[in-house]
Amino acid sequence: AEVETINPFKNIYVDDSRNDPEFIKQIGPQAAITMGLAMRKVNDK
């Protein structure tokens, strides 16, 4: 089966002059859960 690595930053603008693009790419899979939680609204279930 084919496996695709998740990139939660794919559709989010990240300023390359302030953030190392390689670092962002590296931590993307680890940041998936935290990105999802950060985008939740108050009282979401």
Q: Which amino acid is at 23?
A: F
Whole-model pTM: value is 0.60
- Per DSSP, the residues of 23-41 read HHHHHHHHHHHHHHHHTPP
Count of domains for the chain: 1
Instruction: Kindly state the DSSP code that residue 21 receives in the 8-state scheme.
Output: H
Task: Compute the distance between CA of residue 43 and CA of residue 27 in angstroms, rounded to an integer.
Answer: 28
Task: Give pLDDT tens digits for 1-44.
Answer: 999 888 888 888 999 999 999 999 899 889 988 888 888 888 87
Q: Which domain holds residue 27?
A: 1-45
